[in-house]
Amino acid sequence: MGCEGGSCSSCSSCSTGTEKDNNELPPGMLERYDLDQSTADGALVWLEIERRPEGPVISDVSMQSLGRVCSINSGRTYAVIFGGSDLKVLYPRIFGCGVGTVYHVRDRDSECYDSNVYSITLCDIIDRVTPAVVVLGNSERGTQLAEKISSMLAVELNRDCEKIDMDGRMLSTVPAPLNQFMMANRKRFPQVATLDVNAYPNPEKREGKGTAIYWQTWRR
In a domain, 15, yes or no: no
In a domain, 99, yes or no: yes
- Domain range enclosing 162: 32-215
In a domain, 4, yes or no: no
State yes or no: pLDDT of 88 exceeds 70.
yes
In a domain, 17, yes or no: no
In a domain, 176, yes or no: yes
Number of folded domains that form the chain: 1
In a domain, 2, yes or no: no
Confidence of residue 208 (pLDDT cuts 50, 70, 90): very high
Confidence of residue 153 (pLDDT cuts 50, 70, 90): very high
Confidence of residue 179 (pLDDT cuts 50, 70, 90): low
In a domain, 69, yes or no: yes
Higher pLDDT, 66 or 220: 66
* CA separation for the pair 146, 154 (Å, rounded): 12
State yes or no: pLDDT of 69 exceeds 90.
yes
In a domain, 19, yes or no: no
What are the CB-based long-range contacts (under 8 Å, 24+) for 18-26? 18/140, 21/114, 21/115, 21/116, 21/144, 23/115, 23/116, 25/116, 25/119, 25/120, 25/148, 25/151, 25/152, 26/116, 26/120, 26/220
CATH number of the structural domain spanning residue 210: 3.40.50.620
HSE-CB of 90 using CA atoms within 13 angstroms? 29
Q: Is the pTM of this model over 0.85?
A: no
